[in-house]
């Protein structure tokens, strides 16, 4: 009896091997009929990510593998979200979802590094110009999701990627990883979901809205508030509620929420254009079902650029690295040297390496991101795996 190539691939995945063994069938690293599995490029709580190739057109793709017996499978839901958003600018294309042996697989566009990666490369601070330009694109991506009747629920720098190096979209901003997205209104009637409290928590504690900390049902306003926290993280280099200590994860999570509520917006945004404070004040005052004025919010960052004397020319901080050659031209050694030369980076870099964690597959799973990993709600059944992230071995892939 001939060997089952799919079983061979699954066995190798279980063993953590990046590609099938030489002794296996030559077709054992082909999935979804015509996608060849290449090197392993990352892992998350859902499973493993591989680089791949579409054998019909030689296009590079990313292939996500998730155990079919996962306690909280997410790839099918993620695939559905990608299909709802198909054709939307800044949203990668999903090409295939199916089963392969013991795994679910999702084939998607292979993109570039995340904004968190670029943040690291730039010494863990972005200029007002870069943040203002990014803010407008990030707002547009989130608005596109909302226009398709979805809320994202896990806004964080890791989930915003730039395009693949050397392509025409190399510095475009993409939003990826829709495992926690949720429909907030009926697509036909536009009836909004009802307001509820004592909800299971979803998102990353560092960035999530105050209402999410309070257990309130999320809506569009919560995605936008989380974006505001990301903007200030980029400008400041850190947020006041990072690094809090507590005896348990639950207590630490509560401390993060308390600190957010007690931090005055004026103090949080001190030293930066007033438009960033106006943004946070606006989104925190939005009603549960209220439609945000996205144009007004984008215009705030146009004003921030003007008041700072900056030009909106699409030149980001990472494009000026290495004497203007950009981050792509930097070797591993140069990357390490660049990081080492940032006086404020060393301790933060160590902390960041420790407190980064993979996105949760569970809809009821809140990420702590303060050093101890995660705060789980009572229904979360499986602790997440931590990503192994070094910049030049980064997961240049959707949803990494």
Nearest-angstrom CA–CA distance, 352 and 287: 34
Q: Tokens 């401390």 belong to which residue?
A: 255
Question: What pLDDT was estimated at residue 20?
Answer: 44
Nearest-angstrom CA–CA distance, 19 and 393: 17
Q: Which residues are annotated as a binding site for ATP?
A: 64
- What is the SS3 assignment for 136? helix
Question: What pLDDT was estimated at residue 346?
Answer: 41
Confidence of residue 183 (pLDDT cuts 50, 70, 90): very high
- The active-site residue, picked from 109, 117, 120, 154, is 154
- Going across the sheet that includes 374-376, the strands are 203-204, 365-367, 374-376
**pLDDT exceeds 60 at position 301:** yes
- Answer for the pair 35, 90: CB distance below 8 angstroms, yes or no: no
Q: Give residue-wise pLDDT tens across range 346-394.
A: 444 433 332 332 223 233 334 444 332 332 322 222 333 333 343 333 3
Q: What domains are defined for the chain?
A: 115-386 (1.10.510.10)
DSSP state of 372: S
Give the burial string for 192-226 (b: 16+ CB within 10 Å, else e). Answer: bbeeeeebebbbbbbbbbbbbbeebbbbbbbbbbb
278 CB-near residues (< 8 Å, 6+ apart) = 300
Confidence of residue 166 (pLDDT cuts 50, 70, 90): confident
Q: Give pairs for 291-299: CB < 8 Å, separation 24+.
A: 291/220, 292/143, 292/146, 292/220, 292/221, 292/224, 294/139, 294/140, 294/143, 297/139, 297/224, 298/135, 298/136, 298/139, 298/140
Confidence of residue 331 (pLDDT cuts 50, 70, 90): low
Q: In percent, how much of the chain has pLDDT > 90?
A: 63
Q: Give residue-wise pLDDT tens across range 274-292.
A: 999 999 999 999 999 999 9
Q: Is the whole-model pTM more than 0.75?
A: yes
**Which tokens go with 391?**
């910049």
Please say if 77 is a catalytic residue: no
Q: How do 365-367 and 203-204 pair as beta strands?
A: parallel
The residue ranking higher by pLDDT, 101 or 28, is 101
At residue 366, what are phi and psi to the nearest 5 degrees?
A: -105, 135
Q: What Å distances lie between residue 24 and 18, 33, 35, CA to CA? A: 13, 17, 17
């Amino acid at each position: 009896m001939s060997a089952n190539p799919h079983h061979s691939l699954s066995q190798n995945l279980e063993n953590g091997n990046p590609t099938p063994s030489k002794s296996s069938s030559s077709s054992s690293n082909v999935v979804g009929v015509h996608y060849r599995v290449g090197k392993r490029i990352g892992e998350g709580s859902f499973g493993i990510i591989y680089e791949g190739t579409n054998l019909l057109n030689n296009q590079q793709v990313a292939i996500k593998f998730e155990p079919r017996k996962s306690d909280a499978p997410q790839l099918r839901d993620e695939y559905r979200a990608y299909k709802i958003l198909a054709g939307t600018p800044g949203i990668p294309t999903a090409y295939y979802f199916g089963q392969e042996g013991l795994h679910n697989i999702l084939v998607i566009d292979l993109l570039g590094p995340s904004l968190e990666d670029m943040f690291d490369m730039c010494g863990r601070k972005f200029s007002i110009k870069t943040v203002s330009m990014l803010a407008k694109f990030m707002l547009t991506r989130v608005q596109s999701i909302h226009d398709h009747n979805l809320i994202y629920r896990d806004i964080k720098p890791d989930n915003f990627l730039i395009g693949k190096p050397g392509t025409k979209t190399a510095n475009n901003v993409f939003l990826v990883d829709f495992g926690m997205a949720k429909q907030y209104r009926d697509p036909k009637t536009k009836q909004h979901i009802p307001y509820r409290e004592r909800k299971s928590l979803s998102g990353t504690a560092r960035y999530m809205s105050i209402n999410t900390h309070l257990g309130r049902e999320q809506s569009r306003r919560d995605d936008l508030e989380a974006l505001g926290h990301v903007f200030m993280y980029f400008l400041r280099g850190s947020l006041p509620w990072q690094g809090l200590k507590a005896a348990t994860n639950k207590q630490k999570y509560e401390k993060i929420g308390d600190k957010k509520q007690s931090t005055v917006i004026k103090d949080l945004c001190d030293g930066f254009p007033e438009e960033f404070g106006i943004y946070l004040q606006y989104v925190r005052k939005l009603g549960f079902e209220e439609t945000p004025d996205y144009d007004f919010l984008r215009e705030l960052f146009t004003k921030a650029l003007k008041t700072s004397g900056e030009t909106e020319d699409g030149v980001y901080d990472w494009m000026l690295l290495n004497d203007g050659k950009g981050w792509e031209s930097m070797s591993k050694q140069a990357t390490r040297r660049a990081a080492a030369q940032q006086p404020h980076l060393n301790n933060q870099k160590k902390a960041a390496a420790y407190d980064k964690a993979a996105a949760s597959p569970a809809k009821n799973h809140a990420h702590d991101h303060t050093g101890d990993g995660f705060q789980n709600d009572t229904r979360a059944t499986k602790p997440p795996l931590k990503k192994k992230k070094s910049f030049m071995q980064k997961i240049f892939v959707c949803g990494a």
